[in-house]
């Protein structure tokens, strides 16, 4: 079945540094989504990407939908302590485009 | 407003109990989902409802019984659960099934503990 390979598994960075994480797959997806999840809470949608090559920003976050539709990256600029959490990439597939498969997640820890 | 609400926030139940989880959205979304998430793992899809009809059951054991009474509500009925069913149960909704704008929005989850 569809699988997403997300890397890195975890990051420990200095406050103010830029962060980059990515997801790759052997399958093609029509939509890529990036979520952030805090402990004990549900995933919160950060960025949605619908078109190959699309580059989208949301404040300090920037994400791109790879041109082959098999990969995506998320960048966070000038990280701050509240960026701590788990970041998941997710791809939509299925006959009706309603099955979401998640990457394993990237745990972000920021050292203030 | 992209809010999905879930109740209760926490639930502790014995293996012989019957309980229900509730999910509600008022965004006019016509697809709703149940996910199960174990610690340090990504969410795993359990059920999909589209226009109040069950469209996907990911081979979930029958001790989990979903129900969609109307387009805003989604329930998950629990009966005779096992300790390994302890997890965070997430509800999500999306605007229109099959659309390229079918972005899923998640609720805060119910933390379930089965004793």
**Residue tagged 């990256």 (tokens):** A73
Nearest by CB to residue B45, choosing from A97, A99, A103, is A99
CA pair distance A2, A85, nearest whole angstrom: 25
Instruction: Establish if A7 touches chain B: CB-CB under 8 angstroms.
Output: no
Residue A110 pLDDT? 81
Which two structure tokens, joined as six digits, stand for B54?
């069950």
The answer to whether the beta carbons of residues A46 and A34 sit under 8 Å apart is: yes
Residue B97 pLDDT? 56
Residue B102 pLDDT? 76
Phi, psi of B57 (to 5 degrees): -125, 110
Residue B101 pLDDT? 59
Low-confidence ranges of chain B (pLDDT < 50): none
Residue B77 pLDDT? 98
Of A6, A94, A85, nearest to A46 by C-alpha is A85
Residue B1 pLDDT? 58
Work out the angle at residue A74's Cα, subtended by the Cα atoms of residues A73 and A80, and round it to the nearest 5 degrees.
155
CA pair distance B51, B71, nearest whole angstrom: 7
Measure A50 CA to nearest chain B CA, in Å. Answer: 7
Instruction: Establish if A30 touches chain B: CB-CB under 8 angstroms.
Output: yes
CA pair distance B14, B83, nearest whole angstrom: 9
Residue A60 pLDDT? 97
Low-confidence ranges of chain A (pLDDT < 50): none
């Amino acid at each position: 079945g569809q699988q997403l390979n997300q890397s890195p598994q975890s990051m420990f960075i200095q406050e103010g540094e830029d962060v980059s994480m990515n997801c790759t797959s052997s399958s093609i997806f029509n939509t890529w989504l990036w979520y952030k999840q805090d402990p004990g809470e549900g995933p919160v949608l950060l960025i949605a990407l619908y078109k190959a090559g699309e580059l989208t920003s949301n404040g300090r976050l920037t994400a791109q939908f790879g041109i082959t539709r098999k990969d995506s990256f998320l960048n966070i600029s000038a990280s701050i302590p509240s960026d701590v959490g788990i970041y998941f990439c997710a791809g939509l597939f299925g006959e009706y485009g309603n099955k979401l498969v998640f990457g394993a997640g990237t745990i972000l820890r920021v050292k203030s | 407003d992209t809010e999905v609400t879930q109740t209760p926030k926490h639930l502790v139940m014995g293996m012989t109990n019957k309980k229900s989880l509730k999910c509600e959205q008022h965004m006019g979304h016509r697809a709703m989902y149940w996910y199960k998430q174990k610690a340090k793992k990504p969410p795993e899809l359990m059920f999909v409802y589209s226009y109040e009809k069950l469209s996907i059951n990911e081979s979930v054991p029958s001790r989990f019984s979903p129900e969609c009474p109307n387009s805003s509500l989604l329930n998950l009925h629990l009966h005779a659960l096992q300790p390994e069913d302890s997890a965070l149960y997430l509800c999500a909704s999306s605007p229109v099934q099959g659309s390229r704008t079918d972005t899923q929005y998640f609720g805060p989850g119910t933390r379930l503990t089965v004793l």
